A and B are shown apart, each in its own frame.
Chain A
Amino acid sequence: MSSALILSNVSRSFGETHAVDNVSISIEPGQFIGVIGRSGAGKSTLLRLLNRLVDPTAGSISFGDTNITALKGKALRHWRRDCAMIFQQFNLVDRLDVLTNVLIGRLAEHGVLSSMTMQFSDEERAMAIRALDRLDLVPQALQRAGTLSGGQQQRVAIAKALVQRPKIMLADEPIASLDPANATLVMDGLKRINREDGITVLVNLHTLDTARAYSDRIIAMRQGRVYFDGTPAQLTDDVVRDIYGLDGLQEFNAAVTSTSVHASVPA
């Protein structure tokens, strides 16, 4: 049923900059993958390439028998539904209520008429409320999304991704603008979805210890290329120093960038 997501020699350049440079990786279903690297290393572009918000300049992406890079129109929209995306700035519609924001995750299934009139079925509303319940947000369901805190908004975004019934969930620095407590809630939510629903999760992260604590596999990018691909245990301090180019710093400690509230992080 579920198949591997395979990137073969994928590149994307913006003018002279090679944001993603000849990347080949294979992602098995059900994995929790942390993507790390300096700002501008190509992490965001990599995620955007996967759900085709950005098109590659070279190479191809495939999922099972489907060539993702060739998808168009309805097939492309269905791929985006299957490959849900969560953003650093949440990208919710502030002036719509939380429930409608979650129901946006159902739009790929709708025709023009029901979508333009914002008509959703009872089943879809039930699905949305169940998704909100998993993230403890039912009391806020009828509030405007803009009135929620950052952490709550990010969980709304996760609920929206859930009702897409995706096979893969991409999260582009989902905790970068959150405080430690909310960051933990969001990461725990992603981990639970990964474990309970078997959804593949790819998360871009700035904080090393978060990546270590939550990921089964860590991919590190440097200047658009995959510099490291392995388990958290294989990610030694020497490798980290190379990834972040910390040659100047004598001592390096992940706790400096930590967003964790616990001394020991939950698995």
Chain B
Amino acid sequence: MKSKYLTHNQRTVISVVVKVIIGLLFISPLFVGLIFSFVPDQELLKLPTLQTIRNTASFNNYKLLAQSLPVFSYLKTSLIDCLLVITVQVLFSSLSAYVFAYFDFKGKNFLFTLVLIGMMVPAQVITITNFLTVRRLGLLNTYLGLAVINFAGGKSIFLFRQYYKTIPKEMHEAAIVDGCGDMKYLFRFVMPLAVPSIASVALMVFIEEYNAYLWPILVARKQNMYTIQVGINQMIRPDMIPPYGRLLAFAMFSLIIPVIAFVLGEDYLISGMTEGSVKG
């Protein structure tokens, strides 16, 4: 009957421990990937016992992976692509958001509606024509080709605009009266204040772009322009059993950066997701 007299505190601790265990089970596929990425390929074609795992575990898969595929070149392509999209999208969207937050002009509502409609068109639906366009422009196998479709972001325009609206309009008027130009006001005053929203956008864009799969396999046709995801795709063929050890090593290698980014920036990501997307 002891459990009946557990204090409130003790019950809280137990419930937290239980939930942490549930959480660990929830992300256990990651641990499975991690542990078996140290086991050699040929062992993975049988059911490896704990004993064999302990005896054969090594960084061999990672070494073999780095020797057989230019994984660091894939990583470089992925990161340059992400950086390009983040920089350009933040710049373009800041300009647009500034206009929607501070100006009154003819056609404003129409243009803003266009932005919202653009946000709702599923990316997969327009992939075909975008692919044809990018191919006609000769942008296959280029960074620009990988990145250009995401240079405009309805979501980020919307998010920045929400944020800019919280900055009092009087400040803007005061600044203009004092002879500060609009551009200077945006870059020197508004954007530094909006750093949290820029962080949210940067993180959302990073995760989306780093994880992008369909578009890169269409655009990156040459190995020197493969992104991480295209590289993984190349290892899996329907007609053969992939070398699981190396595949798992590749998977773990590719997940390091997003996991760190997520754990560090979770709050920014959540505020970016929830800001303005759900009423109430």
Pairing of A with B: no
A interface vs B, CB < 8 Å?
Answer: none
B interface vs A, CB < 8 Å?
Answer: none
